[in-house]
Structure 1
Amino acid sequence: MEEPEVFELYEVHYSDLLLLCSTISSSSSLEEAERLKLISRGVMEALGPEGPGLLSITGVPEASTLQRHLLPLARRLALLNPDDRKRILKEHNLGSDVPLKDPDRSVSAFAMQLGYAQGLESVLSKPSQTVDSVSNSEQDHLEVEKIKEIQDKQFRNLSDAFRKLGFFMMDLGLRIAQICDRAIGGQELEQSLLESCAAKGRLIHYHSTLDNIILKEAGRSKTTAKRQANGARDDKNFVRYRQGLSEGPNLDINGNGVGSNGFHSNLWQQWHYDYGIFTVLTAPVFLAPTFPQATEPKDLFSVTSDEEYPSPSGHTYLQIFNPNKNNVCMVKASSESFIIQVGESADIISKGKLRSTLHSVSRPSQFGGLSRETFVVFLQPAWNKTFSISDYPTKHRLSCDKCLRVSNGETNLAEQDRSKLTEEIQKIIPPLSSRLKDGITFAEFSRETTRRYYGGSGLQSNR
């Protein structure tokens, strides 16, 4: 089985990012000016047509504290009973754009609009606070009102942490836009972001298989006083989680096959392009549930806490398609770093000088007990932003449609595997030429893109 290639992102330290966005004074040494020039070139190479369309930013102040605080809340929100979750989301002005009532969902996402006009300083000046964790086993012995009080305490800083981390990430995106504008010429990327007035933040929990078992059991026991498991099959699943076992070398914990090319047929998130300007992501955190020693298979709800777990393969499980090599790469980034990813709008606005990133999120094989937590901010232009493609290179536009090249003629086994993979991806991705017309607004482009991917009206959630 061919192992997937791991791609380590180009890193920019936050202190250098600040220097790149400032006016270099005449007192700066030639050596320092040359160093910054090389970093700027590295940024454009990473985000340009010959690069992966991604880079990472390290050393952001307070980032590690905020990420450790916020990201574990994604799983806790996802596994709350619907009534409590609805109440907490309302209190913190959060919504969702996924069907949270579906126990088979692979992702739970909690979203909020983040307005530039709110001002960064008013949010970033608030002191960081911690959240006290409370175990499920303790909650089982408390009265309903006490449980509610504990839940309120657990999530008391949810919206503040959401906004604070979100505004940090919006600032990173704006600074990267400034650097790209300086290299390209003009200020269209930065101005397009500012004119949008808002970005969307999304706290995302990628479910482990155990999470889905818990959700199903919660649904079955909704009308009963006690939570019960559903016979031997659930016992078996639970024991497999406790012991960390799988059914065979070529099966993941869900029983899904792993292809000979090393890429799982089971994805947390399907292949797609983001259609905004930049997507800013935290490096993910992986969580593994812990149980009391005396836990029996019949008690699936005795998870005492979530422990952070290192990535099983040392990468993020974000995977990108590399059109230059016609293969898939797993993205590796430093823990507690931020990933900047190019969207299709940046590709269009920059006239092809930035490259949008075709990507998906894979599940780790044989580690179905792990969940994945991340926080994402989508930076996009104003809805009335008009795209002109008269000066967008036709060759580049067509190459975007044909980036999934399928090999012909005699090929070896690895090339045949890649060809099969690219054929499958090509069926999913709507061609850019079918969605992009001269004079189209971003609202029309986003609606048509969403419709082509998912069907329906193409309208997005307002929250």
Structure 2
Amino acid sequence: MEIEAEILDPFQLHYSDLILLSSVSTFSDSSEQEDIARLDSISKTILETLGPTGPGLLVVTGVPQGSQLRSNLLPFARQLALLNPYDCRRILKDHGLGTDVCLKNPDRAVSSFAFQLKYVQDTSVNISSNESVEKSEENSEGQKNVDRLCKFQDDKFKKVGNSFKELGFCLMDIGLQLARMLDKAIGGKELEQSILESRTAKGRLIHYHSTLDHHLLIEAARREVSVKGRANCRVQLRQKLKFHREEDQTLVKASELKTSLNEATSCRISLSNLWQQWHYDYGIFTILTTPMFMSSYQLSTTEANEQECSPPDGHINLLIFDANKNKIYVVRSPPNSFVVQVGESADILSKGKLHSTLHSVCRPTKRDDLSRDTFVVFLQPAWDKRFSISQHPVESRISDTLRLDTSEQDPDVLNQEIHRIIPALSSRLKDGMTFAEFSHQTTKQYYGGNGVQSKRKRGNVSISNQSHWRKRSAFSCFMFTSHFVPKAAHPHTKKERKKSQKRNKRLAHTKSKK
């Protein structure tokens, strides 16, 4: 299904203004009164943008070193995604990274690589990563016909761990500054305190596969896992791509007309084969880089992999659904900026003053050679954070959402389909629930046996470095279409589960006596 979608240019917040707005200092002399008025105006605009009547997302520009950190990390996404599963898992383990997709599944539409970020940076993490690399190199020396390839790969990916952490902490800082600013604007310290109490956040490096990437993985899966087999596979695919490129030269040139694309107010998008299905993020904030589009024509060399294509359709392929206007918008964002989206936890903690964003990711139109790379950080409350929804606006907003596609809107096939695959917030959230319980219910109702999206094709969970990811599923705010869904989240340890079971038994026994 193709539709004409309006292009949304979100409010742009400069990083320097964000720092001023989140600062506790106040202005005093008259020369600074103009700045106070300007910042007050920006603050009001932010609240409107992230509030119930706004789109629920904004763009942060001018982040120091943001462009360089983005360029350092994003090219690794595609390089890791196209490695064979054994080498990919080895490299991820060497750098303390994990994956929440099945790398052995060549039909996956998305590859995702994750790392748990701590607010207090521990230098031992770097030491551990270095030791793992050395150990891996020692072990690989005895493997004939493999040691040179492993050494080459280790050198190629030696900076992936540090690049991951540097960009991750940069995005965490943006989220914390925004939380502090919003706390000042709406009153209280719920947002910042909830983020800090969690002590961790999750960073995820995501590669959205092009059609030709998919063919490469299929070809590789059919061959023996050997250096020779992979080399032959690349040669054959390169020949296919050469033919495809000659056939598509006119289209590639047309996509590079930046001026006309930047001036466009609407565009055609396809909803029939989404890269990522419609969903809400259920943390506090989701901060993500503007994506890097790569052409699959550029294959084996490092130089080619580092070349970035312009957004082919003039936007970043991020779709949002505005329930107030009953419209789908496609987001356009400046290069090297960072998008901040409101999650459902922020909606709840702010008592409805902030509004979570219903969104998805579409594929480029007529450009099946393009892949999409981005880096995302999810900020969330602590697992034991309790939500209270009684006697505040969230309850009425939940009820309104339930009636959205029946009593308040004209019948529309597209909107009905979107709401059909989104479990109602009221069915996932009960008064007094912890964030852990809420995340468990959310994942279950999306992807459980009877979940609204459970019938979609999915692969098995595969986690590298399991010790880092016992709490992985509740971080899984991104819901990938046609390849993977996380298992239901249950962040408690075995000891905590036993305590919880005993406590529930005592409560049940007390109620039965009454």
Task: Specify the TM-score bucket, using the shorter chain as the normaliser.
Answer: 0.7 to 0.9
Q: How far apart, in 2, do the equivalents of 1:242 and 1:112 lie? A: 40
Deviates more, 1:110-119 or 1:77-86: 110-119
Match among 61, 68, 73 for residue 65 of structure 1: 68
Q: How far apart, in 1, do the equivalents of 2:250 and 2:100 lie? A: 32
1:419-441 CA-to-partner distances (Å, cap 9, x unmatched) read: 11111111110000100100000
Residues 61 and 119 of structure 1: is their aligned pair in 2 closer, same or farther, counting only changes over 3 Å?
farther
CA shift, 1:343, in A, is: 0.3
CA shift, 1:453, in A, is: 0.7
Q: Does 1:266 align with 2:265?
A: no
RMSD over aligned CA atoms reads 2.9
Question: In the alignment, which residue of structure 1 is the partner of 2:204?
Answer: 202
1:278-328 CA-to-partner distances (Å, cap 9, x unmatched) read: 00000111001345xxxxxxxx97998333110111111010001111110
Match among 217, 220, 231 for residue 218 of structure 1: 220
Higher-helix-fraction structure: 2
Question: In the alignment, which residue of structure 2 is the partner of 1:127?
Answer: none
Q: Secondary structure at the match of 2:438?
A: helix
Question: In the alignment, which residue of structure 2 is the partner of 1:131?
Answer: none
Q: Which amino acid in the other structure matches residue 194 of structure 1?
A: L
Question: In the alignment, which residue of structure 1 is the partner of 2:320?
Answer: 320
Question: In the alignment, which residue of structure 2 is the partner of 1:243?
Answer: 247
Q: Does 1:438 align with 2:394?
A: no
Q: How far apart, in 2, do the equivalents of 1:374 and 1:12 lie? A: 20
Contact 1:289 1:305 in 2 (8 A): no
Q: Which amino acid in the other structure matches residue 173 of structure 1?
A: G
Contact 1:246 1:366 in 2 (8 A): no
Q: Which amino acid in the other structure matches residue 454 of structure 1?
A: Y
CA shift, 1:398, in A, is: 1.3
Q: How far apart, in 1, do the equivalents of 2:76 and 2:340 lie? A: 23
Contact 2:27 2:36 in 1 (8 A): no
Q: Secondary structure at the match of 2:98?
A: coil
Residues 242 and 203 of structure 1: is their aligned pair in 2 closer, same or farther, counting only changes over 3 Å?
farther
Q: How far apart, in 1, do the equivalents of 2:63 and 2:233 lie? A: 45
1:197-240 CA-to-partner distances (Å, cap 9, x unmatched) read: 1000000000001111111111111256435569x999767733
Contact 1:245 1:366 in 2 (8 A): no
Q: How far apart, in 2, do the equivalents of 1:97 and 1:197 lie? A: 21
Match among 75, 78, 88 for residue 75 of structure 1: 78
Question: In the alignment, which residue of structure 2 is the partner of 1:86?
Answer: 89
List aligned pairs for 1:390-401, cutoff 5 A: 390-393=390-393, 394-401=395-402
List aligned pairs for 1:49-448, cutoff 5 A: 49-118=52-121, 144-222=146-224, 225-227=228-230, 239-241=243-245, 243-244=247-248, 262-290=269-297, 305-306=304-305, 307-393=307-393, 394-404=395-405, 419-448=412-441
When normalised by structure 1's length, the TM-score is: 0.83
Question: In the alignment, which residue of structure 2 is the partner of 1:20?
Answer: 21
Structure 1's unaligned 5+ residue stretches are: 124-141, 248-259, 292-299, 410-415
1:392-442 CA-to-partner distances (Å, cap 9, x unmatched) read: 323212123344468877xxxxxx7xx111111111100001001000000
Q: How far apart, in 1, do the equivalents of 2:268 and 2:403 lie? A: 21
Residues 174 and 146 of structure 1: is their aligned pair in 2 closer, same or farther, counting only changes over 3 Å?
same
Q: Secondary structure at the match of 1:308?
A: coil
Deviates more, 1:453-462 or 1:22-31: 453-462
CA shift, 1:146, in A, is: 2.4
Q: How far apart, in 2, do the equivalents of 1:37 and 1:323 lie? A: 28
Q: How far apart, in 2, do the equivalents of 1:157 and 1:269 lie? A: 28
Contact 2:284 2:379 in 1 (8 A): yes
Question: In the alignment, which residue of structure 2 is the partner of 1:130?
Answer: none
Residues 86 and 460 of structure 1: is their aligned pair in 2 closer, same or farther, counting only changes over 3 Å?
farther
Q: Which amino acid in the other structure matches residue 111 of structure 1?
A: A
Contact 2:313 2:365 in 1 (8 A): no
Residues 404 and 109 of structure 1: is their aligned pair in 2 closer, same or farther, counting only changes over 3 Å?
farther
Residues 71 and 461 of structure 1: is their aligned pair in 2 closer, same or farther, counting only changes over 3 Å?
farther
Structure 2's unaligned 5+ residue stretches are: 127-143, 252-266, 450-486, 493-514
Q: Does 1:458 align with 2:499?
A: no
Q: Which amino acid in the other structure matches residue 336 of structure 2?
A: E
Identity %: 51
Contact 1:274 1:343 in 2 (8 A): yes
Q: Secondary structure at the match of 1:351?
A: coil
Q: How far apart, in 1, do the equivalents of 2:413 and 2:41 lie? A: 39
Q: How far apart, in 2, do the equivalents of 1:169 and 1:302 lie? A: 29
Contact 2:9 2:333 in 1 (8 A): yes
Residues 97 and 144 of structure 1: is their aligned pair in 2 closer, same or farther, counting only changes over 3 Å?
same
Q: Which amino acid in the other structure matches residue 244 of structure 1?
A: D
Q: Secondary structure at the match of 1:345?
A: helix
Contact 1:326 1:405 in 2 (8 A): no
Q: Secondary structure at the match of 2:229?
A: coil
CA shift, 1:245, in A, is: 7.7
Q: How far apart, in 2, do the equivalents of 1:204 and 1:109 lie? A: 5
Contact 1:405 1:422 in 2 (8 A): no
1:42-86 CA-to-partner distances (Å, cap 9, x unmatched) read: 111111001000001000011111111100100000001111111
When normalised by structure 2's length, the TM-score is: 0.75
Match among 36, 39, 43 for residue 33 of structure 1: 36
Q: Which amino acid in the other structure matches residue 345 of structure 2?
A: S
Q: How far apart, in 1, do the equivalents of 2:322 and 2:297 lie? A: 38
